[in-house]
Homo-oligomer: A and B are copies of this chain.
Amino acid sequence: MTLRPAPGDDRDAIRVGMLGYGFMGTAHSNALKTLSYMFPDGPRPDLRAIAGRSEDAVRRAATRFGWEQYTTDWRDIVADPDIQVFDNVGPDAAHFEPTLAAIEAGKHVVCEKPLATTVAEAARLVDAAEAAGVKNLTCFNYRFVPAVRLAHDIIANGDLGEIYSASFRYAQEWRTDPEAELPTWTGALSVIGCHAVDQARYLVGELDSVSAILSNPVTSADRAEPIDTVASIVQFSGGATGDIGASLIAPGRRNRLGWEINGSKGSLVWDLENLNVLKAFTRTGGPLDGFADVIVNESQHPLVGAWWPSGHILGWEHSHVNMLAHFLAAVADGGEVGPEAATFADGLAAAKVAEAITRSSETGERTAVS
C-alpha cells in the first residue's frame, strides 16, 4: 500500500462566530476544536470568525485557535449571514447588547454566565430568543460534569426520595489578596454565586423565597457590586429548604463549588475541586453502608462515553466540551437544549434569584423569587 489522502470530514458543519478571547474564549475555542473529533457522530463546528477589542490580541487568538477571520467589532459577526451560532464569551457588560443583536439576526446564541446584569435585560433576551425561535444556551457548564449529571439523574428518577435539604456554596480565594486586580464587573454573586444558584435549581428545583446577607469585608463599598461573600437560606418550591453561599475570600478554596443534598432515601455530596467524584450514601441496611467515593468515569455513567476508559479522569474543561457538543447537536438536529443544558430561561431564573438575594440583604426580609 502507499500513503493515501484521508477523506475529508463530510459531516454537516455548524458555522460559529465568537465574541471574546480571554480565559473563557480559550475554554470555548478548545471545546469547539476538541468536540469535533471526540464526538465524531455529532456536528462539526466551523470556526468562522472571532471578535475582540484589541486588534492585535484578537488576530493572534484567531491564528492560535484556527478561527478563519477576526474583527474588532462584534457587529461584523452578527451581520454575517453565513454564521449560524453566536458564542458570547465577552465580559459581563458585553453580554446583553451583542447577544440581543445576534438573536435579532436569527442566530443561535450561546452566552456566558451571568446572562445579563439585570433581570430586565435577561428577560428581554429570553423573549427575543423565543420570538426568533433560536436555540439558546446560558453557560452553566457544571451541569455537564459527569458527577453532577449523575446526581441530577438520580434525583430526577426519585432514587434519592423526597428532597429534605440542600446546601450549595461556591468558594474561591483570590480577592483575599490585597494586590489582586478587581475587575469592575465582578462580585461574588455574579462571578460564581450564579453557578451555585443554577446547581440548586438544576438538582433540586425552583426556589420560592430567599433570605440573604451580603458582605464586603475586603472590597470597598463604593464599587458597583461590592460583594465578597453571599450567605442565603432558601425555600424550594418542592418543599426542601437549604442554603446557597458564595465567597471570593475563602483562603485555600481554589475553586470549590460544592453541595450536599439530603433526601429521604440518601444523600449526595460533590465538589468541583475533586470533580470526578460523587460522594453517595444510599441505605441498604447492611454493615457496609457509608458514603461511597464514586469515581464517575465508568462507561455506564452519563457524559463519559466520548472520553477515556475507567478511572482515566476528566478535568475542568471537559464540562465545556460536553456542553457545547450538546448545544451544537441541538442546533444541528433541532433537538431541545434544556433541560440538560441551561437555556436563557435558566439564565433569567438565576438572575431573579440573584435579585431576590440582593433585595433580601438590603431589607432583611424573606423575599419571594418573582
Contact = CB atoms under 8 A, between A and B. Distances in A.
Contacts of A169: 167
Interface string A334-369: 000000000000000000000000001000111000
A117 interface: no
Contacts of A7: 59, 62-63
A308 interface: yes
A33 B64 CA distance: 12
B267 A228 contact: no
Protomer copies: 4
Q: Which of A63, A172, A277 has the most CB of B within 10 A?
A: A63
A292 to B, nearest CB: 4
A109 to B, nearest CB: 19
A235 interface: yes
A172 B164 CA distance: 13
Interface string A256-279: 100000111111000011111110
Contacts of A130: none
Contact of A37 (B30, B239, B240, B262): B30
Q: Which of A171, A211, A234 has the most CB of B within 10 A?
A: A211
B293 A293 contact: yes
B59 A23 contact: no
Contact of A293 (B212, B291, B308, B318): B291
Interface string A220-255: 000000001101111100011111010101111111
A186 interface: no
Contact of A233 (B6, B209, B212, B217): B212
B76 A255 contact: no
A206 interface: no
Interface of A: 1-9, 23, 27, 29-30, 33-34, 37-38, 40, 49-50, 59, 62-73, 76-77, 80, 150, 154, 162, 164-165, 167, 169, 171-174, 176, 209, 211-213, 215, 217-218, 228-229, 231-235, 239-243, 245, 247, 249-256, 262-267, 272-278, 280-283, 287-298, 300-301, 308-318, 360, 364-366
13 contacts: A37-B64, A40-B64, A154-B287, A154-B288, A167-B245, A231-B233, A249-B262, A252-B283, A253-B311, A273-B295, A273-B313, A274-B313, A287-B296
